[in-house]
Amino acid sequence: MSATMSLPRQVVKKFLAKPQYEGEGAVVRRTIGRPELKYFDPFLLLDEFSSFETVTYMLEGAVTHEDFQGHKGTIHEGDMQWMTAGKGIVHSEMPAAQGTQKGLQLWVNLSSKHKMMEPRYQELQSKDIAEVARDGVKVRVIAGEALGTQSPIYTRTPTMYLDFTLNPGANLQQLIPSTWNSFVYIIEGEGHFGSTMSSSITAHHVLVLGPGDGVEVLNNSSELLRFILVGGEPLGEPVVQLGPFVMNTQEEINMTLEDYRNCTNGFEKAKHWQSQIHD
């Protein structure tokens, strides 16, 4: 980005995301949502997988999905789905075929005033995701703006989600609103983050960035460096989470569970619904 940063952000915490089992035999690398980083306002969870919003971004392979509203389809390599669960939705996902299925799923919290909104989807095929390359840096703009390019995705919680690839020797300066929380997840390769004098950090590490108005990255290796940069405006609200249910108080969680069990207040169609995409 051409704009100049006055206070580059530094890496204040990093850890390696190790594989773990989740759901029906799936193996994921969990970053946000594990003991080292239980909640990073407004982000609830980030998984790399072989009432909130979920952002599913496929890196390889494809995933088939459907819900109790009748919405269904397949997310292929390079495609993105931004699902706002809102007041509640019952949703199923499974690999679309045999072979490698690799992607990222980010959970973004909603403010209390939006938690009971109607569910909605925003989907982009790979060919429709804004992409720009300059001086050895390529970025796919899932949400927000980078290198003068803006994503068409509307984020109820202000969010940036950028997929960067840096050629060997390339460097990047990317602005981030100074009041936002932000982190990096390295998909492949290795690079220097926050300072060219810092140690090189390798794939599958999550890097929590400290205060500042942007981040500096250098690829000093002989291989490509690919990572996502995610930032979001903190909500500053209490969070109570029980599995996929996310509210502000325990009382609200109890009410949501009651609605789910009784198929009321948005869950009416769940009463007789059964997913058709399981093996």
Q: Are residues 124 and 134 in the same domain?
A: no
pTM of the model: 0.84
Q: Are residues 23 and 120 in the same domain?
A: yes
**265 falls within a domain:** no
CATH number, position 195: 2.60.120.10
pLDDT tens digits for range 201-220:
999 999 999 999 999 999 99
**Domain end marker among 128, 145, 161:** 128
- Mean pLDDT is lowest, of 121-130, 141-150, 166-175, for 121-130
Give the residue with greater pLDDT, 94 vs 226.
Answer: 226
Q: What is the mean pLDDT of the chain?
A: 84
What is the domain count for the chain? 2
The torsion angles phi and psi of 157, rounded to 5 degrees, stand at: -95, 120
116: alpha, beta or left? (left if phi > 0; alpha if psi -120 to 50)? alpha
Mean pLDDT across 113-134: 86
pLDDT exceeds 70 at position 1? no
Task: Report the b/e string of 256-274 with b at 16+ CB within 10 A.
Answer: beebbeebeebbeebeebe
On whether residue 258 sits in a domain, the answer given is: no
In a domain, 271, yes or no: no
Residue whose tokens read 């050629």 = 167
In terms of residues, how long is the chain?
A: 279
> Can you give the residue range of the structural domain that contains 214?
130-237
**Does position 26 have pLDDT exceeding 70, yes or no?**
no
Coil, helix or strand at residue 239: coil
Beta bridge partners of 247: 240
> Do 81 and 108 have their domain in common?
yes
